[in-house]
């Protein structure tokens, strides 16, 4: 599978858009997906980070004199017109023909998307503003307080809209450090202060914050940590300012352990941008400073529920810092409820487990729909199939599954990258269900299936097995497919033998004998056309 990101970073744009795309890209890469980036050569861009991560980078030239069309509030961020940008991207996309094109740019809208949509199977937009029309299949707005209705007139009816902080694009280390970070805040200690005013901070709010802090009644043993990006233009001035303070100040540039730094900080002062989700995940009590118009919505929503404190200018810092012990614990508890750090997995699942269609030589077009993306009717039908006597008798758990249990199971699939469940359709008919577990990329996985007990479709089992075998190779590069079957399920055992599976061992489950079977993928496969 090929995924292409169209995103920019610069002194003007900042680093947040590119960094969240990199986070999603790394998660997709772990699923064996081929990743490319299309970025413009802006001053202060982060091309080095993309290359360091091992992703393919296509660079667009930045004109000496900007000639944007000024149709959107952020049009100048593009430095060229939307049509020029689309024409340049078209040359790249025509060669790649990606399965997904992911666009994260305030200066692009439905005109650009409509011009390029036919060059990708699916198009995804990452937005925070809800201020322009889009032509996309999937839209993500990770802003806390955002609701789908904000986009109802801005996207096509067929578009899937993911909104809210549960979809925050955070690196996995944030969820890993989350428990430690929250537990250490049981008492209101204030010894470590973190300042993060953005990766670029052209206006140098960071130094202004230091000046204001020098007037505050900070603990004498306070440690101040400042985290900046490599393109911060005022580093030398900031270092001289820090040396004149009576407090210990550590300046860090381009850190790779932000989760650890936040987990060990007691209070943060930061811009109300994409780093907000990282601080919330850590339960880090924060004073947010609004630096741009597009940050107001987020900052106000977090402040309203006491998940952060908001100031519109640094002059207000002194009173908040001096009274820190009065508010930091309450803000920590409220902020920790905003996101648990698993949003990237949820979003990645929407891409990797989207509706997949491919041609099988023997059976024609087959469609796989992830359980997490099923509509209400198909969700109910899956449960009905699973609870049918002819299906559940061959399951490890042979009791009926309740609606709540099924709902909770599907919800957990969002967070589990080693297990996938699909409803399989052929020519509009539900053939049955297939699942993958214990997935080891480019190696092996465990496979299971059951046919639709309410239809007599000839060759249903063969379609499911062929679809599973093809998808395992296409998606995960799997060489060996493993399965387990009750030893008294003679019909299934004979079926799997005909499909090329061989007996490799025995196991037991509640006094029942289990046959272990596996097969190596036939290089010829069942089909080689992916739509």
Q: Which 8-state DSSP code applies to residue 14?
A: B
Q: What is the CA radius of gyration of the chain?
A: 26
Beta strand 364-370 pairing with 420-426: antiparallel
> Is the separation of the CB atoms in 340 and 176 below 8 Å?
no
Mean pLDDT of 105-129: 96
Helix (H) / strand (E) element for 400: namely: none
Mean pLDDT of 504-508: 95
The mean-pLDDT minimum among 29-38, 153-162, 371-380 falls in 371-380
Between residues 294 and 228, which one has the greater pLDDT?
228
Tokens (6 digits) for 21: 């795309």
Q: Is 353-530 CATH 3.40.630.30?
A: yes
Q: Which 8-state DSSP code applies to residue 79?
A: S
pLDDT band of residue 318 (cuts 50, 70, 90) is confident
- The span from the CA of 127 to the CA of 105, in Å, is 7
Q: Does 142 score more than 90 pLDDT?
A: yes
Q: Reading across the β-sheet that carries 364-370, which strands appear in turn?
A: 502-509, 512-520, 480-486, 444-451, 429-440, 420-426, 364-370, 356-360, 529-530
Helix (H) / strand (E) element for 1: namely: none
Q: Does 523 score more than 70 pLDDT?
A: no
Between residues 475 and 388, which one has the greater pLDDT?
388
- The span from the CA of 337 to the CA of 335, in Å, is 5
**2-167, what's its fold?**
Rossmann fold (3.40.50)
pTM for this one? 0.73
Q: Does 526 score more than 80 pLDDT?
A: no
Q: How many helices (H) and strands (E) does the chain have?
A: 18, 22
Closest to 207 (Cα-Cα) out of 187, 179, 237: 237
| In 403-527, alpha helices (H) | 403-413, 460-476, 490-498
- The span from the CA of 531 to the CA of 528, in Å, is 10
Q: Does 480 score more than 90 pLDDT?
A: yes
Closest to 451 (Cα-Cα) out of 443, 439, 459: 459
Q: Would you state the pLDDT for residue 314?
A: 66
Q: Does 528 score more than 60 pLDDT?
A: no
Q: Does 524 score more than 50 pLDDT?
A: no
CATH architecture of the domain covering 172-336: 3-Layer(aba) Sandwich (3.40)
pLDDT band of residue 104 (cuts 50, 70, 90) is very high
pLDDT band of residue 306 (cuts 50, 70, 90) is very high
Q: Does 243 score more than 60 pLDDT?
A: yes
Mean pLDDT of 256-283: 94
Q: Would you state the pLDDT for residue 529?
A: 36
Q: Does 313 score more than 80 pLDDT?
A: no
Between residues 64 and 465, which one has the greater pLDDT?
465
Q: Would you state the pLDDT for residue 88?
A: 97
Per-domain residue ranges of the chain: 2-167, 172-336, 353-530
- The span from the CA of 424 to the CA of 401, in Å, is 20
Tokens (6 digits) for 163: 């909104």
Beta strand 502-509 pairing with 512-520: antiparallel
Q: Would you state the pLDDT for residue 522?
A: 57
Q: Reading across the β-sheet that carries 309-311, which strands appear in turn?
A: 248-253, 223-228, 192-196, 267-271, 286-289, 309-311
The mean-pLDDT minimum among 82-86, 244-248, 337-341 falls in 244-248
Q: Would you state the pLDDT for residue 288?
A: 93
Same fold, 172-336 and 353-530: no
pLDDT band of residue 79 (cuts 50, 70, 90) is very high
With a pLDDT cut of 90, the percent of the chain lying above it is 69
Helix (H) / strand (E) element for 478: namely: none
Q: Would you state the pLDDT for residue 215?
A: 84
The mean-pLDDT minimum among 72-76, 287-291, 518-522 falls in 518-522
- The span from the CA of 501 to the CA of 112, in Å, is 49
Q: Does 467 score more than 60 pLDDT?
A: yes
Q: Would you state the pLDDT for residue 209?
A: 92
Q: Would you state the pLDDT for residue 355?
A: 65
Q: Does 43 score more than 70 pLDDT?
A: yes
Mean pLDDT of 337-353: 88
pLDDT band of residue 476 (cuts 50, 70, 90) is confident
Mean pLDDT of 356-383: 86
404-456 pLDDT, tens digit per residue, is 999 889 888 877 778 999 999 998 899 999 999 999 888 999 999 999 999 98
- The span from the CA of 460 to the CA of 31, in Å, is 28
For residue 63, list its beta bridge partners: none
Q: How far is CA 471 from CA 347, 453, 463, 529, in A?
A: 20, 23, 12, 12
Q: Would you state the pLDDT for residue 531?
A: 35
With a pLDDT cut of 70, the percent of the chain lying above it is 97
Q: Does 264 score more than 70 pLDDT?
A: yes
Angle at 132 (CA atoms; ends 311, 121), nearest 5 degrees: 120
């Amino acid at each position: 599978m090929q995924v292409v990101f169209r995103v920019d970073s610069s002194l003007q744009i900042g680093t947040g858009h590119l960094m969240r795309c990199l986070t999603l890209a790394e998660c997709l890469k772990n699923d064996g997906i081929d990743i490319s980036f299309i970025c413009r050569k802006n001053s202060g861009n982060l091309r080095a980070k993309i290359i360091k991560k091992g992703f393919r980078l296509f660079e667009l030239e930045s004109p000496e004199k900007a000639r944007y069309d000024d149709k959107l509030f952020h049009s100048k961020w593009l430095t060229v017109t939307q049509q020029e940008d689309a024409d340049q991207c078209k040359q790249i996309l025509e060669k790649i023909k990606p399965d997904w094109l992911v666009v994260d740019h305030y200066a692009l809208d439905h005109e650009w998307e409509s011009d390029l949509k036919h060059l990708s199977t699916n198009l995804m937009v990452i937005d925070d503003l809800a201020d322009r029309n889009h032509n996309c299949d999937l839209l993500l707005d990770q802003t806390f307080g955002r609701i789908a209705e904000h986009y109802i007139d801005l996207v096509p009816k067929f578009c899937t809209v993911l909104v809210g902080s549960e979809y925050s694009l955070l690196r996995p280390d944030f969820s890993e450090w989350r428990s430690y970070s929250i537990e250490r805040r049981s008492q209101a200690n204030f010894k470590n202060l973190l300042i993060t005013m953005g990766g670029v901070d052209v206006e140098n709010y960071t130094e202004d914050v230091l000046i204001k802090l020098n007037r505050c009644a900070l603990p004498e043993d306070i440690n101040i940590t400042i985290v900046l990006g490599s393109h911060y233009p005022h580093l030398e001035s900031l270092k001289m300012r820090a040396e004149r303070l009576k407090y210990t100040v550590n300046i860090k540039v381009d850190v790779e352990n932000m989760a650890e730094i936040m987990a060990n900080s007691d209070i943060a002062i930061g811009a109300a941008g994409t780093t907000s989700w990282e601080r919330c995940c850590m339960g880090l009590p924060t004073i947010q400073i609004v630096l741009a118009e597009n940050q107001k919505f987020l900052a106000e929503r977090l402040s309203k529920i006491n998940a952060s404190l908001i100031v519109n200018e640094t002059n207000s810092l002194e009173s908040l810092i001096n009274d820190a012990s009065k508010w930091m614990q309450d803000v920590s508890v409220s902020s920790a409820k905003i996101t648990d750090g698993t949003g990237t997995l949820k979003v990645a699942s929407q891409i990797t487990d989207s509706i997949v269609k491919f041609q099988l030589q023997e059976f024609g077009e087959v469609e796989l729909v992830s359980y997490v993306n099923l509509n209400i009717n198909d969700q109910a039908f899956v449960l009905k199939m699973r609870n049918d006597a002819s299906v559940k008798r061959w399951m490890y758990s042979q009791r009926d599954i309740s609606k709540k249990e099924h709902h909770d199971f599907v919800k957990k699939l969002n967070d589990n990258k080693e297990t996938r469940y699909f409803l399989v359709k052929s020519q509009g008919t539900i053939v049955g269900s297939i699942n993958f577990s214990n997935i080891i990329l480019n190696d092996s996985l465990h496979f299971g299936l059951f046919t639709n007990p309410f239809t007599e479709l000839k060759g249903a089992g063969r379609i499911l097995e062929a679809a599973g075998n093809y998808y395992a190779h296409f998606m995960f590069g799997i060489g060996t497919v493993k399965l387990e079957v009750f030893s008294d399920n003679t019909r299934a055992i004979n079926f799997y033998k005909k499909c090329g599976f061989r007996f490799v061992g025995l196991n037991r489950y509640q006094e029942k004998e289990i046959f272990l079977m596996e097969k190596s993928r036939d290089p010829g496969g069942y089909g080689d056309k992916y739509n």
